Structure 1
Amino acid sequence: MSVITKKLHELADVFSGYAFRSEDLGEQGIPVIKIKNVNDKIVYKQCDQFLPINFVTERLKKYLLQNDDILVAMTGQGSLGRIGKMINQKEQYIVNQRVGIVRPKVEDASIAGYLFSVLALDEFEDRLYSLGAGAGQPNVSAVDIGNLDIPYLSRSSRMFIAKIRTSYDALIENNNRRITILEEMAQSLYREWFVNFRYPNHEDILDADGKQKLIDSPLGEIPEGWEIKYIKDIGFINTGKTPSKKKEENYSSRDIPFIKTPDMHGGMFIIKTKEMLSKVGADSQKSKYIPNWAICVSCIGTAGVVSISTQISQTNQQINTFIPKSKKHTEFMYFSFKSLKQTIQNYGATGATMTNLSKGKFEALEIVFPEESLLVNFHRITNPIFKQIQVLSSKNENLKQQRDILLPKLISGQIQLKE
C-alpha cells in the first residue's frame, strides 16, 4: 500500500535558532540550547550558556522554545540529524542558530506528536546526515529540513501513533526520574562523607578545642588516618585502541561492545554502544579487553565524562578505563572521577584545541583516599543503588528498542491500522 507524503514545511514552520553574539551570553538568565543539548530530551543542567532575560526583545521571542517544538541538530560530525524534544517543559529555553526548530502548525492537534514520532526515526536522522555529508563540517539548512517528505496518514492513525510514542516516552522518562533520584542519593552520601568529612562517628575524633582532627596534605586538610593516593595505586589503567578500519572483519553487529565517548553520555552505565567489534577484531588486541563494571573516563576531546561498563568490552583510544583492585572501591571511585572532571580538563590542556590527557598523566592523578572501613561501608550502602540504576537503565534500553521496532512499521503501513 502506497503512503501519501507531504513536505515537512507544509505541516510545520521550519527555521534555525538565533545567532547570539558570545558577548551577550552569560552565566544567568534563560538557558541557551545548543547542539550538544539535542537528543531524546533536553535536561536543564546540560545548558552552560544563558541569555539575560532583559535581552529577550519582541524579535527574539520567536526563538523561545514552545511545548510542541521539535529540535534538529543542523551541523557537526556525529551530531547532524539528532532530534530532540522537551518532555515536561517547566523552564523557559531559547535556541541558538545551529539548532533547527520544527514548530508544528496549530490547525491540527494530531500533527505535533505524530511529527516527532516520524522525525525521531533513525531513517530520518540518516537521511538528514546524508544530505549534509560531503563537507569537512557536515551541515543542513532549514530549507533542507523543510523539504523532507513526511508520510501523511489519516488523522486517527496519526493520533494513535503519537499516543504510542507518548506512552513509551512517559515510561522511559519515569525511569529516568527514578535514576536521577537514586544517583543523587548516592552522590549526596559521597559528598557528605568524603568531601564534607561528616562520615559516621566523625564527631568521636576531636582535638582539644572540640574540632574535628584534620591534617595537612597536598590536597588540603584531610582527616587523620586518610591519605593521598595516585590513581595507579588504587587500580589498573587500560587505554583503549581502535582496530584497523580497513579490515571489515574487525567489526560486527553483535559480538563485543566498542565504547566511544558518545556512548557514555547516556548516564551512569553504558548499556548500548553504537559500534561493535567482531571477536576477530577484539582478539587482535586482547590486552584491550575491559571487564564488567569497569570505570571508563574520556580523556581526549570531550574530557571528564565518566561511565561504567556493563559487559566485557573494549574502548577506543580516547578513553582510559580504571579497573579497581577491589570491587568495594567501585562506587567511591566513580564519584571521585566525576569530581575530577575539571582537573582532567586542566591536566589535559596542551595548548591545542583538543584536550588530551595521556595515560601517564591519568595514572598520576591524586585523590583523597579514606580509611578502608569507610569504603566498605559506603560500598555496602551504595552498591544496591548502583545495581538498581543499572536495572532501570536496561529497562529503558529495552523500551527504546520496542518503540523503535514498532513505530516504523506503523508509520510505513507495514502494520495496518483500522480507522
Structure 2
Amino acid sequence: MTKANYKRIGEYIQLVDERNSGLKVKQLLGLSISKQFIPSVANIIGTDMENYKIIRKNQFACSTMQVRRDKKMPVALLQEVDQAIISQAYPIFEVKDETRLLPEYLMMWFKRSEFDREACFNAVGGVRGSLEWEDFTDMQLPIPSITKQREIIKEYHTIVNRIKLNQQLIQKLEETAQAIYKQWFVDFEFPDENGLPYKSNGGEMEESELGEIPKGWEIKSLKSICSKIGSGSTPKGGKESYHKTGISLVRSMNVYDFVFSSDDLAFLDDEQAKALDGVSLKKQDILLNITGVSVARCCIVPGFILPARVNQHVMIIRPRAEYHLSNYLLCLLCYSDNKAKLLGISQSGSTREAITKEEVDGFKIVKPNESIARSFDEKVSKILTKIEIKILNNNKLNEIQNLLLSKLATIEN
C-alpha cells in the first residue's frame, strides 16, 4: 500500500470523556505496558470514584506519559466486558465510524513494534518523554477496505486463538504435574511394590523435622543434594549492551512457574558470555527468581535456549544427576506450601523481596528413596516435555503473529 493510502489517526478517532457520576460502574481497570487491561491495584481509599472515567466496549484507553522512557505506548481496546472505569489520567477514545475503520484493526496497528518506535521518536515532552495528543493523532496508518480489514482480523484471531488454546493446555499439564506431586509427596500415596497407594495401605511412616515421612526417606538441605547453586550478574553496560542474537541471558522476566518465556530474551556476544562462564546453564537446571515482584517463580531450563547464562536476579539450582531429582524439585518449589515458605523467606528482614544463596542452600526438603525418585522423574518428564513442545509451538505462532502485524504496512485491498 502506497503512502497515499495512509491516513491520519486523528481523522478516524475522537476523545470520549464520560465520568462515573452516581457510581454506576464498579469494575476498576488499569492499563499495562503490554497493551492490556488489568485489574487495578491502586489504593482508592478516600478517592472520589465519580471522577473516574467510564470506558465502554470497543473504546480505547491509552497513556501518553513516559513513552520515550518505556519505549512503548500503552494502549488497549476494551472487549472482555461491556463497561468499566479507569483513572481519569488516561485519555479514552473511540473510532468515529466503524464502517470505515474497525476498532480491532486499529488495535492490531497499535500492537506493532514499528508503531511503538514511531511513538517513541515523537515523544519529546518532559524529562521522560511524553507523547503529545496532537502528535499521536498526527501519526498515520494504512486503511484498506472494511472487507480486507475483516479478513486480516479473522486471520489474526486464528493465530491468537491457537496461542490461547496452547496456554490452556499448558495450564492443564502443569495442574496434572502438581496433582501427581501432591499425591506422591504430600499425601504419600505413591505406588508401593504392589502398585497400591503407599500410606493408605499400611506403608511405614516415621517422624522427621518436617513431619511424618515414609520410612527410609531423608530430610536434606538443597545444598547437600545439588552440585551447583548460584546466580549471575548483568554485563557491563546493562540493557544497552544486549544483542539481538547470540548466547541467551536469562532474566527474571523469562521465568514463570513451570514455563520459560522467550519474550524479551536478551542475548550476549562471546566476550560477554565468557565473563559469565561460571553461571552457564545446563538442561535440567532449575531456575529460581530470587528478587523483586516475581520472587520464587521457578521453571526448568528448556533445551531450546542453550547455550545460556543467568543474571543476578535468577538462581541456578542443579541437582546431582545420580539423584534423579530435577523434576521433583521443580514441582516441590512450585507447590503452594513450599512457595509460601519461599515467599516468607523473601519478605523477612529485608527492604525488598529477596532470597539469598544461604537461604536457598539451607532450604530443607524431603528426599525420597531412589526408586520412587526415578519413577516420579520418568512420569513427570513426559508431562514437562509436552509443556516444552507447546511453548515452542507458541513461540512460532508469536513469530507468525508479529509477521502479520508487520505486514499491515504493505496490505493491499
Q: What TM bracket, shorter-length normalisation? A: 0.7 to 0.9
Question: What residue in structure 2 maps to residue 323 of structure 1?
Answer: 318
Quick one: distance in 2 between partners of 1:93 and 1:384? Answer: 43
1:48-73 Cα deviation digits (max 9, x unpaired): 96999xx9x9987925x74x456657
Question: What residue in structure 2 maps to residue 412 of structure 1?
Answer: 409
Question: What residue in structure 2 maps to residue 237 of structure 1?
Answer: 229
Query: Are 2:230 and 2:316, in contact at CA under 8 Å, matched by a contact in 1?
Result: yes
Task: Answer yes or no: is 1:7 the counterpart of 2:6.
Answer: no
More deviation in 110-119 or 276-285?
A: 110-119
Shift of 1:114: 0.4
Quick one: distance in 2 between partners of 1:386 and 1:129? Answer: 40
* Aligned amino acid, residue 309 of structure 2: Q
CA gap 1:238/1:112 in 2 versus in 1, 3 angstroms: same
Extract unaligned runs of 5+ from structure 1: 19-29
* Aligned amino acid, residue 400 of structure 1: N
More deviation in 153-162 or 196-205?
A: 196-205
Q: Per the alignment, in what secondary structure is the counterpart of residue 316 of structure 2?
A: strand
Shift of 1:291: 1.4
Q: How does 1:73-84 map to 2 (within 5 A)?
A: 81=73
* Aligned amino acid, residue 407 of structure 1: L
Task: Answer yes or no: is 1:256 the counterpart of 2:247.
Answer: yes
Shift of 1:320: 0.6
CA gap 1:183/1:350 in 2 versus in 1, 3 angstroms: closer
Query: Are 1:229 and 1:368, in contact at CA under 8 Å, matched by a contact in 2?
Result: yes
Quick one: distance in 1 between partners of 2:118 and 2:349? Answer: 37
Quick one: distance in 1 between partners of 2:158 and 2:316? Answer: 37
Q: How does 1:58-97 map to 2 (within 5 A)?
A: 62-63=54-55, 66=57, 68=58, 81=73, 89=80, 97=87
* Aligned amino acid, residue 286 of structure 2: I
Q: Per the alignment, in what secondary structure is the counterpart of residue 216 of structure 1?
A: strand
Question: What residue in structure 1 maps to residue 299 of structure 2?
Answer: 307
Question: What residue in structure 2 maps to residue 193 of structure 1?
Answer: 184
Shift of 1:179: 1.4
Question: What residue in structure 2 maps to residue 153 of structure 1?
Answer: 143
Q: How does 1:5-404 map to 2 (within 5 A)?
A: 5-7=7-9, 10-11=12-13, 13=15, 33-34=29-30, 39=34, 62-63=54-55, 66=57, 68=58, 81=73, 89=80, 97=87, 104-105=94-95, 107-108=97-98, 111-128=102-119, 143=133, 147=137, 149-156=139-146, 157-201=148-192, 203-205=197-199, 213-235=204-226, 236-245=228-237, 251-265=242-256, 268-271=259-262, 273-302=264-293, 303-310=295-302, 311-326=306-321, 328-339=324-335, 340-349=338-347, 351-404=349-402
Quick one: distance in 1 between partners of 2:77 and 2:190? Answer: 41
Q: Per the alignment, in what secondary structure is the counterpart of residue 325 of structure 2?
A: helix
Aligned length: 389
CA gap 1:121/1:168 in 2 versus in 1, 3 angstroms: same
CA gap 1:374/1:148 in 2 versus in 1, 3 angstroms: farther
Shift of 1:364: 1.4
1:318-342 Cα deviation digits (max 9, x unpaired): 1111122128322211121223333
1:115-166 Cα deviation digits (max 9, x unpaired): 2211111123345556679978x58589589646241412333223222221
TM-score by length of 1: 0.76
Identity among equivalent pairs (%): 18
Q: What RMSD over aligned residues (CA atoms) do the two structures have, in Å?
A: 4.2
Query: Are 2:282 and 2:301, in contact at CA under 8 Å, matched by a contact in 1?
Result: yes
More deviation in 222-231 or 113-122?
A: 222-231
Query: Are 2:122 and 2:135, in contact at CA under 8 Å, matched by a contact in 1?
Result: no
Shift of 1:193: 1.7
* Aligned amino acid, residue 243 of structure 1: P
Query: Are 1:258 and 1:273, in contact at CA under 8 Å, matched by a contact in 2?
Result: no
Query: Are 1:73 and 1:79, in contact at CA under 8 Å, matched by a contact in 2?
Result: no
Quick one: distance in 1 between partners of 2:52 and 2:182? Answer: 40
Quick one: distance in 1 between partners of 2:18 and 2:135? Answer: 10
Quick one: distance in 1 between partners of 2:274 and 2:233? Answer: 12
